[in-house]
Amino acid sequence: MFYYLFEYINDVLNPPGFDVFRFITFRAAAAAITALLISWVVGPRIIALLRRRQIGEAAKLEAPETHLVKAGTPTMGGLIILTSVLVPVLLWGQLDNTYVWLILLATAMMGAVGFVDDYLKVVRRFPKGLIGEYKIVGQVIVGLIVGGVLYFSPQFQDYNSVTTVPFFKNLVLDFSFFYIPMIIFVIVATSNAVNLTDGLDGLAVGTISIAFIAIAFISYAGGRVDFSDYLNIIYLPGSGELAVFSAAVLGAGLGFLWYNAYPAQVFMGDTGSLALGGAMGVLMVMIKKELLLPILGGIFFAETVSVLIQKAYFKYTKRKYGQGKRVFRMAPIHHHFELLGWPEPKIVSRFYIVAIILAILSLATFKVR
């Protein structure tokens, strides 16, 4: 909205300095600041509303006993994140850009799936929330929409089913007819991985905000001919606008972290974790960096793998020895460190450090090849 307003003012009146609104870097910074301010404004109001409606987190039996004190903390705080992301992008983004509308639609839809799950759990008091199969169906629908647009739209026909391989120069992998199933897998896996990570105060929102800093740089570079040529990556016309979205997520994430840092005043719930995880997966698909996810999203990858290992080993040992054994004291792995005696803020801080290292490594893959 602002993009077109200021462009019109610049074309008609040509005031000095108004050219700056055409630059993606300026609008990305403006989106981040706007998102931060919106989260600070709407955050206390949404938290107060959730408290009045007694929409609080239920006691989790699958978490360490120290988490019992968190029961009753307002949840569904993902509404703060969604508001703080969608509004700035609508204000500062180029709204005739297919990438922008696709990421907005996917984020809103994933947030809606999470909202229904949270609503059933904390408002209707259904212990398991939305049935798992229905949740997967919602995620698959998002994947089908994103995959269908990217695969069949004439705008993307020159690179509709290909992706790049980290650390390998001039190596492009073509998924052909398996591209849409691959997109569905990436979106479902990433959204659920972030959801698994959301188990400590500030952990998920902080680590994914760090990842989105790298995504903003990658999106911007891929949307410029000169940068993509220098880095020898696929040039994706229009993808630079995704930097505005990524910056908005960063601003919204920092704003939400203000209330979600230990001890948390609010939890994002599935409303936030599925929306952020889904957005990350969709973005990595759109900028052709799906195979970079295990590095950039290494925290989420490790959390998911720890759960898979724990379940597989428990079933194997129970079948073989009659009694199930565990690799970790508890999964996901952040709970393992809790049971080792690490204070929650220390775990979160160290995961942040790892996330920063992984983000730097992800950016380094563009030159280390």
- Could you report the per-residue pLDDT of 109-153, keeping only the tens digit for each? 999 999 999 999 988 888 788 888 999 999 999 999 999 999 999
Query: Three-state DSSP class for 276?
Result: helix
pLDDT value of residue 55:
87
Task: Write down the mean pLDDT value for the chain.
Answer: 93
**Residues in CB range of 52: below 8 A, 6 or more apart:** none
Instruction: For the chain, give the longest Cα–Cα distance.
Output: 80
Coil/strand/helix, residue 173 = strand
341: left (phi over 0), alpha (psi -120 to 50) or beta: left
Residue type, 39: S
What is the model's pTM?
A: 0.95
Where helices occur in 53-131 by DSSP H, the ranges are 78-92, 98-118
Closest CA to 209 of 338, 355, 49: 355
Task: Write the CB contacts of 64 (distance below 8 Å, at least 6 apart in sequence).
Answer: 330, 335, 338, 339
Token pair for 61: 């039996």
Strands (E), 3-113: none
Q: Smallest Cα–Cα separation from 74: which of 269, 299, 335?
A: 269
pLDDT (tens place) for every residue of the chain, 369 residues total: 777 777 777 677 777 777 788 899 999 999 999 999 999 999 999 999 999 988 888 767 677 888 888 888 999 999 999 999 999 999 999 999 999 999 999 999 999 999 999 999 988 888 788 888 999 999 999 999 999 999 999 999 888 899 999 988 778 899 988 999 999 999 999 999 999 999 999 999 999 999 999 999 999 999 999 999 888 889 999 999 999 999 999 999 999 999 999 999 999 999 999 999 999 999 999 999 999 999 999 999 999 999 999 999 999 999 988 889 999 999 999 999 999 999 999 999 999 999 999 999 999 998 776
Q: Please tell me the distance from the alpha carbon of residue 284 to that of residue 290, in angstroms, as a whole number.
A: 5
Whether the Cβ atoms of residue 156 and residue 179 lie closer than 8 Å to each other: no
Burial of residue 79 (CB within 10 Å: 0-12, 13-18, 19+) is buried
CA distances from 314 to 138, 196, 261, 304, 306 (A): 30, 19, 33, 16, 12
What are the tens digits of pLDDT across the range 204-240? Answer: 999 999 999 999 999 999 999 999 988 888 999 999 9
Task: Find out whether 233 and 164 touch, Cβ atoms under 8 Å.
Answer: yes
User: So where are the chain's domains?
Assistant: 25-295
